[in-house]
Amino acid sequence: MSTQHQHADAVGTSAPRAGASTRTRNGSNLTRALGYTALVVVALLYIYPFLIQLATSFKTDADATSHPLSLWPQHFTTAAFSRLAEADYPRWFANSVVVALFVTAGRVFFDSLAGYALARLRFPGRGALFAAVIAVMAVPGVVLLIPKFLVLNQLGMYDSYSGMIVPLLADAAGVFIMKQFFESIPVSVEEAARIDGANTFRIFWSVVLPMARPALITLTILSFQASWNELPHFIVSRQSPDLNTLTTGVASLVSGQLGQGNQYPIKLAATLLMTIPVALVFFAFQRHFARGGTEGATKG
């Protein structure tokens, strides 16, 4: 009898536990479904303007003015892209490619050098120099526009490729990212290379830099995006139309012959083509981008 009572008690206690487990699982599934629903809604809110941009690029001027929020052109046409090809858009695109590639390569190299020096080398004023780097990050870029113009003008670099590229070859945020990442690399790795007779630059170039690949990819993406989308610096560093980049060229579409009237298709087609290179770079390296941002923020 005692055995039967014990079995009955066990069955009685297991039933509520199973019910509680089922309710917990159902609640967890409901929470997950609500979370995914919220993410989808937010994603649609971000994607919807891009879809409007894409659709409007293939509309006629009249269609874009009458139905600006429509996601499907009533009369599909590529006239906007043809007009851009006949204008100076190819030159703007080429200028942006040249500037972005040189600036990206320069930032990756110089920011890495500066970050390694601040992370590993011991010299007087290192703390003050790093504090200055942090302070520069807090200064709005617009404050430096007039000084940039004056310096470029005095050095004879105004209205030239060098004036557009050289001031952008290093930035404080990149130095900070690389310094934080280098500090997460064990010092013992460098000590072993130093025992083998490697000098400081050789250790940096052959040992430490390959280990910083996630941070380098992060810096490459950020540098390319920043230089590709740069506008204020290009306004004060040049005046010749032949040196227009995509940012200054697309901004000029709101005035002049191409800017008369609404002309939404040609404007949005220009911005659409401008967005594609940055999007391709980001999606190609997004996994490394997230990893670099995480690893660069931790030490040890």
| pLDDT tens-digit series, residues 238-265 | 999 899 999 998 887 766 555 455 778 8
CA distance 245 to 78: 23
**100 versus 189: which is more confidently predicted?**
100
Digit-coded pLDDT (tens) for 157-171: 999 999 999 999 999
Average pLDDT over residues 69-83: 86
pLDDT(129) > 50:
yes
Counting residues of the chain whose pLDDT is more than 90, the rounded percentage is: 32
Nearest of 167, 173, 146, 161 to residue 96 by alpha carbon: 161
CA distance 35 to 162: 50
Angle at 176 between CA 297 and CA 291, to 5 degrees: 35
What per-residue confidence (pLDDT) applies to 46? 87
On whether the CB atoms of residues 246 and 92 are closer than 8 A, the answer is yes
pLDDT category at 100 given cuts 50, 70, 90 is very high
Phi/psi of residue 218, each to 5°? -60, -45
pLDDT category at 4 given cuts 50, 70, 90 is low
The amino acid present at 70, given as its one-letter code, is: S
CA distance 151 to 158: 9
CA Rg value for the chain? 28
| Full-model pTM | 0.78
DSSP type of residue 284: H
Mean pLDDT of the chain: 83
Among all chains, which residue has been given the structure tokens 């030159």?
A: 91
What per-residue confidence (pLDDT) applies to 197? 84
CA distance 296 to 299: 8
pLDDT category at 152 given cuts 50, 70, 90 is very high
What per-residue confidence (pLDDT) applies to 71? 85
Angle between helices 264-295 and 89-120 (to 10 degrees): 20
Pick the range with the lowest mean pLDDT from 21-35, 77-91, 219-233: 21-35
pLDDT category at 34 given cuts 50, 70, 90 is confident
Nearest of 250, 249, 105 to residue 174 by alpha carbon: 105
The amino acid present at 204, given as its one-letter code, is: F
pLDDT category at 154 given cuts 50, 70, 90 is very high
pLDDT(295) > 60:
no
